[in-house]
Each structure stands twice: as structure tokens, then as C-alpha cells.
Amino acid sequence: MTALEYIKQVPKAELHLHIEGSFEPELMFEIAQRNKIEIPYATIEDVNKAYQFSNLQDFLDIYYAGANVLIHEQDFYDLTMAYFKQCAKENVLHAEIMFDPQTHTKRGVEFSTVINGIQRAREEAEKEFGISSLLIMSYLRHLSEEDAFETLQQSLPYKHLIKAVGLDSSEKGNPPSKFQRVFEASIKEGYVPVAHAGEEGPAEYIYEALDLLKIARIDHGNNCLTDPKLVERLVQEKIGLTVCPLSNTALRNVDHIDNHPLKKMLDLGLKVTVNSDDPAYFGGYLTQNYISCIEALDLSLQEVKQLVRHSFEYSFLSEQDKEKFLKMV
Ligand SMILES: Nc1ncnc2[nH]cnc12
Ligand SMILES: [Zn+2]
């Protein structure tokens, strides 16, 4: 079997997916119309023109604007269900889904509206497609620590539905240290900590995420490669890295997929996984991310199997569930 044949059919897990980043233009048009909200695009060509990014901030401006049309519980349900339908097509059997409550609560949408819509889709996906999932509530790092504390408070009635907390949005100038106290409080509440680090920001932010936020996994982490001591530590401590190849090229963190460091990271012994980040904006869901890397980096079947194994091993599933899935790969 070739690596390409293998990846298309094998059960796999996605560990880095922003649900707001799976908002396809067609669904955005539909929801905008029913909620009577103007969006700056009339056609798919307009969208394609707008979705040309030169850095993370460029993308975030467009991504937050898109999320503005999400108002009702049904909107969050539709958004999440569309992602699960894609998972079912690709044999993604487990998904660890990030959501950004502040993107919505800042606009006057209740926390309960967001999570109830997402939760209903999760339950249905489990029943209909057998897809397991868990939620990562992400704090927006361009906002204040106080704002994040308020979000933590709002989440408490729904603690049983949320596995982890994350940190996303504009990385440069917003170091992990800004959120040390709110992560401490989140851990006390039982949330597992993760954070975006080393996507655009320096290796120093990865050290901060490890030492100050006590993270269990790093989102992206590519810039660890500038610091051999840090690489060694990540290997020794078996820290999972949720790498997002098509995101990295779309946001110009990597100039071309042929130059993506995924294979190098794997060769160094880093516990890398492949993920889609914001697939509606970056041109591909999970399988396409694998396919692009297989083709550009000439990954072997063994290497792809290793990546798929990592996707379960570095998930937040129970040891028993990990075993169950690993038997299938
Ligand atoms: N790639 C990314 N980096 C930081 N914040 C994000 N929010 C959604 N996608 C993101
Ligand atoms: Zn991300």
C-alpha cells in the first residue's frame, strides 16, 4: 500500500482545529442571509480574493469578520455539524476542537448559545457517525488577562463539557507570561492547558508556555527549530506538537510546502502530528494536509503511520481509548 492510499482510508485524529476556522463560504452566505447580516463578499470569487494572507494578523482580521454572522445556537450547531460531516467523509474518528468564546461574547452572544450549539452537534456526531470529540476553550491573547478570567468564570457551569483551555490569536507581542495566572486558575478548575506557541513568535514563547503555563501540548511549535536545546527538551519530555502544514504556507510562515519542516521535525524525534487549523481558509481539511506533505516531502508509509499513531498517542483520550484506536491504524 502507498502512503497516499493509506492516509485516505485509515482512522485518524485531528488535534488542532478551530471550529470558527471551518466556516465554509457557502454556509457563511446562508447564515448571513438568514440572520440579515451584511458580509463584505457577494461571490465565491470575492472570497477567494480576500483569502490571500501575508501573515497571521491578516488572516485573523478576516476570520473574526466571518464569525460575526454567528448569532443563534442553530448557527453554532450548523457550523460544527458541517465539520463533523467532513470528518465522517475522511474517516477522522476523533477531533479535539477549539472554540473562541470571546469572539462571540464580545459581540453580545451568550456563552451558553455558543457551547449549546456545539455540544448538540458533538452528541449527534457521536451517535450518527461514531466520531468522538472533546472541546478546547481558547483564550484570545490579544485581549486582556482580565477578559480571559471572565471567560473562565463563564465556562464553569459547562466545565463537564470542556476538556482543555488553549491560547490563540495574535502571537507576537502577546507572550504566554501575560496569561500565567489565568492558566493557573484554569488548571485548578481541572482544565488541561495547551497554547499556540512558536507559530510566528520566538522559541522563548515556547519556553514560557512550558514553564509558566505548564502546557501538556503545543499548538504549532515550529519555531522550536531555532533552538537545539529546546528541541532536545521537547523530545525528552515527549511534548506533542500540533503542526498545521497548509496553515503555515497560507500564513507565509513557510514559503512553500516543499520547504515545510514536518519531516525534519519527525526525524529529530519530535512528537509531531498533522492538523488543519482553519481548513475553510487555508485550502484543505485533515487528509489534504497529509496528502500535500506526502507529495511535497516524499513521506514514506512508515512515516505517515507514525504521524497517525501520534495523532492518537498525543490526544487527550483516555489510555483505554487510545489503545482502542491504535489497534485500528
Ligand atoms: N493559526 C492560528 N493562530 C493563532 N490563532 C488562531 N486562531 C485561529 N487560527 C489561529
Ligand atoms: Zn490554531
Rounded mean pLDDT for each run of 10 residues along the chain, 329 residues in total: 98 99 97 96 92 97 97 99 99 98 98 99 98 99 98 98 99 98 99 99 98 98 98 98 98 98 98 98 98 98 98 98 98
**Which residue's CA is minimally distant from atom 6 of ligand 1?**
169
Compute the CA torsion angle 14, 20, 21, 27 (nearest 10 deg). 110
Is 267 annotated in a binding site? The answer is no
Q: How far is the C-alpha of 152 from the C-alpha of 40, rounded, in Å?
A: 32
Residues with CB under 6 A from ligand 1: 18, 21, 56, 63, 168-169, 196, 199, 247, 277-278
- Judge contact between 54 and 252, C-beta under 8 A: yes
Containing structural domain, residue 18: 3-326
Q: How far is the C-alpha of 291 from the C-alpha of 285, rounded, in Å?
A: 10
Please tell me the total number of residues recorded for the chain in this structure.
329
How many distinct structural domains can be found in the chain?
1
Residue of 277, 281, 289 to mutate, ligand 1, most atoms within 8 A of C-beta: 277
Report yes or no on whether pTM surpasses 0.95. yes
What is the CA(59)–ligand 2 centre distance, in A? 11
**CATH number of the structural domain spanning residue 244:** 3.20.20.140
Which ligand minimizes its atom distance to the CA of 198?
A: 1
Is 46 annotated in a binding site? The answer is no
**Which residue's CA is minimally distant from atom 5 of ligand 1?**
169
90 in catalytic set = no
ipTM passes above 0.85: yes
Residue of 15, 60, 205, 248 to mutate, ligand 1, most atoms within 8 A of C-beta: 60
Which strand ranges, in their side-by-side order, compose the sheet holding 92-99?
A: 12-18, 92-99, 132-140, 164-168, 192-197, 217-220, 240-243, 271-274
Is 18 annotated in a binding site? The answer is yes
- What is the reported pLDDT for 190? 98
- What is the reported pLDDT for 51? 97
| 22: CB partners within 8 A, 6+ apart | 79, 82, 83, 86, 278, 279, 280
- What is the reported pLDDT for 79? 99
Is 220 annotated in a binding site? The answer is no
Ligand 1 nearest atom to the CA of residue 244, by list position: 1
What is the CA(196)–ligand 2 centre distance, in A? 7
The identity of residue 313, as a single letter, is E
Q: ∠ CA 19-23-25 to the nearest 5 degrees?
A: 175
Of 171, 199, 200, 208, which residue is the catalytic one? Answer: 199
